[in-house]
Structure 1
Amino acid sequence: MQDITLHITDREGFDHEIKAPTDMNMNLMEVIRSYELAPEGTVGICGGMAMCASCQCYMESHHELPEQGVDEEAMLAEAFHVQENSRLGCQIFISESLDQLKLTLAPEE
C-alpha cells in the first residue's frame, strides 16, 4: 500500500478525507500542512521538533500509535487544550497501520 486514507476535522469543524503517502517518511503535521488544513503559520511552527504543540491533534479512532517520547510528553504537559487523546502530529509518522485514522486538530492557542 502506498497511500492511506485519513479523516481529519479542521479547526473550523470541517471534515476532510485525504490520502497520505506511506513511502515518503512524512508525519501527520507535514500532511496537514501539505493539504493546507490550517492557515499557514499555525501548524508546525517549530518545524516538527515537539517544541510548540501547534500540531496538537485529538485522536478520535482507536489505532495503535507509537508511545509518546519524552519531548512529546513534556510539550503536552505545557500545552493548552490538552485532552486524554492529545498527540503531537509531528511525532506520528505515516504508516499503513494508520489507514482510516480519525483525528481533530486542537484549537489554535
Structure 2
Amino acid sequence: MAIQVSTEILEGSVLSLLTREDYYGYAITREVQKVFPISESTMYPILRRLKKMGWLETYDQAYEGRNRRYYKITELGLDELTRIRANWKELREATDIILEGNDGN
C-alpha cells in the first residue's frame, strides 16, 4: 500500500479490534499488520496515546513466566470509535466522489 495511513485510522483500527476482545501489544500489532504495512515501533506510541487519552485501560497477565500487558477499550474509547467511524464514513464518501466520480447520481 503506497498511500500513508493516518494516525487516526490506526487509532480507530486499534479501538475497533479491542471491541472484540482484549489484546496484548504485540498481538494488536500483528492484527493491524494483516491490513496495513506498519512496524511494531509505530504501534506502541499509538497505544500509549490512546491510554493517556483515557480510551484504553491496561492490565497485566502472567504468560509463561512473564507478564503481558493487555489493552481494554473504555467507554470513552467506544465514544471515540463512534466519532472516528463517522469521520471515516464522511471522508470515504467525499473521496469516492473525487477519485471515482461516485457522486450518487
| TM-score normalised by L of structure 1 | 0.32
| TM-score normalised by L of structure 2 | 0.32
For the pair shown, the structure with the greater C-alpha radius of gyration is 2
